[in-house]
Structure formats: structure tokens, C-alpha cells
Structure 1
Amino acid sequence: MSKYQGSCFCGTVKFQVSGAPAAMGYCHCDSCRRWSAGPVNAFSLWPADTLEILAGEDQVGEFHLTEKSYRKWCRQCGGHVFTDHPGFGLVDVYVANLPQLKFEPALHVHYQESVLPIRDGLPKMKDMPAEMGGSGETLPE
């Protein structure tokens, strides 16, 4: 079974995920953009029970604007580490924090909020796939 280790910016919070991600892609929603301080957020979604915090668990801070996303960061350096999505049983480990993971994005979500159009041939979802409670509607590239 594959294991991928990551950490926060300063290395205080160390973690790993095991197996394979459930999905990888790009999120263009306003919340992810503001949280990541970038025009788009690269995500890797994992079953929540595959995440293990190896060090610094007491230094993990949490904030949630909604009950859909519990965003986590390191209290020492402020580095963002992952986001729990309890309603889906998934955790989003930011791709930048998993240097050994080969990023293979499959789609873009919340593309109607995009501020950085990306023409890569991947499906552009208006919101989320129907399987995750979204409309399943795609937008033109």
C-alpha cells in the first residue's frame, strides 16, 4: 500500500495518507481561493480514515465557516495542512503538501467562480459532481 508523507510549512505538523486518493483536481471556489491565497487550489481527496497525524497533533488549529469544510493549519507557522469534509467522509490534503504524490487531476470544480481560466481539456464542473451533492453540470472550457 502506498503511503505519502507531508507536513506544514515549518515541519511541526507531520502526517501521512495511505492508499490512493478518491479524487484529484482543482477547486475554483471563492473559499478555497481565499484560504489558499491563490487563484485556484489543487486538491487530493482521501478517505478520512487514511489520514494519520505523525507529529504535532496538538499544534493543529481548526476553523470552519460552514459545516462542510473544517480547515486545518499549524499553530506554529500558519501553514495550511488539510481540510476535513465530514459530510463526505473525506479529507482534502493539499497537493503542495504531498511532494511524493504524482498529481493526476481529473476535473475542475466550482468553475463558474474561476478567476483563472485553465484550458487543459479536463471537465469543468459548474459546482460539484452529482455523486457529491452537486448539479453534475459541466461548463464549456
Structure 2
Amino acid sequence: MSHADIYRGQCFCGAVQFTLSGQPAGMGYCHCESCRRWSASPINAFTLWNPNALRVTHGADDISTYSKTPHSYRKWCRLCGGHLFTEHPGLGLIDVYAAVVDDFPYAAGVHVHYPESVLPMDDGLPKLRDLPSEMGGSGISAVE
């Protein structure tokens, strides 16, 4: 693995710091109401990783967790409230918010839960009704 395969990230105040190694399993935009409310934004730019790729290097004791459902365990810094990542045990992946990873070459490949969108995006990327079939969704395209 080259140096370019290591990415650093942190919460808003810098109390929690982490590294990611390798490459994500996928990247895209989520438009579901849950992600929008959690992120306080019209969309969530996600990067999905194997959980073993994430290593908290500083401030592990400052990470708090909230789980509305058993599908998602949302993590944030208890000092500044900055969002960090969401564990998705059913998928075997962890969503590290693209905005908290420094110098990461983010390149979305898909929109998920697009019918819930409050910010339509005409970007030529596939728009799905829910999730890709390999992630347990229908894989059905949504109307743009």
C-alpha cells in the first residue's frame, strides 16, 4: 500500500482523529430523510469502507453513538458534536462522511433513495429508488 492509500480525517474540533487505509467500497449521495436530518443538509455525501480500513488515532473516548434503528450506529464527537461515521452492521460497511476526510479524492458514483430528494441533481449519475441490489436494495432506477 502506498502513502496515497492513507487518508486522514477528524471531527470539527479535531479532538477525534482517524485514518482510512485503502480505497472505499463505494461513494455516492444519499437523499433519505434520515441522512438529511442527521447531517442537517439536503444530501449526505458518503464513502463506504470495510470497517478494518478505519483506525481511530486520537480521541476514541470522545466518540459517542446514537442508533435510531439496528441498521445504523451513528458516531460523533461528544465535545464538538461533529459527525464522523456511521456503522452499518447489516452491510458489513462503515460510512465515513466525505466532508471529514482530508484531501480525499471523492468521486460519487450513485444517488440512493433519490425519490426522497429535496435537492434534485442533474449530474448524469445513476439515481436509485433505494439501494443497489448488492446492498440489499431493489436496484431499481428512479426518475430524475
TM norm. shorter chain > 0.5: yes
State how far apart, in whole Å, the 2-side matches of 1:89 and 1:134 are: 15
TM-superposed CA distance for 1:123, in Å, is 0.3
Amino acid at match of 2:33: D
Between the aligned residues of both structures, percent identity stands at: 57
Q: What is the aligned partner in structure 1 of residue 49 from structure 2? A: 46
Deviations 1:76-119 (A, max 9, x none): 00000010111111111100001211111000000010000000
CA RMSD of aligned residues (A): 0.6
**TM value normalised by structure 1:** 0.98
TM-superposed CA distance for 1:139, in Å, is 1.1
1:66 corresponds to 2:62: no
Q: What is the aligned partner in structure 2 of residue 21 from structure 1? A: 24
Q: What is the aligned partner in structure 2 of residue 107 from structure 1? A: 110
1:140 corresponds to 2:143: yes
Amino acid at match of 2:12: F
Size of the alignment, in residue pairs?
Answer: 141
TM-superposed CA distance for 1:140, in Å, is 2.2
Amino acid at match of 2:39: S
Amino acid at match of 2:140: E
Q: What is the aligned partner in structure 2 of residue 88 from structure 1? A: 91
Gaps of 5+ in 1: none
Q: What is the aligned partner in structure 2 of residue 123 from structure 1? A: 126
Q: What is the aligned partner in structure 1 of residue 39 from structure 2? A: 36
> Structure 1 or 2: larger strand share?
1
Query: Which segments of structure 1 move beyond 2 Å, counting only runs of 4 or more?
Result: none
Gaps of 5+ in 2: none
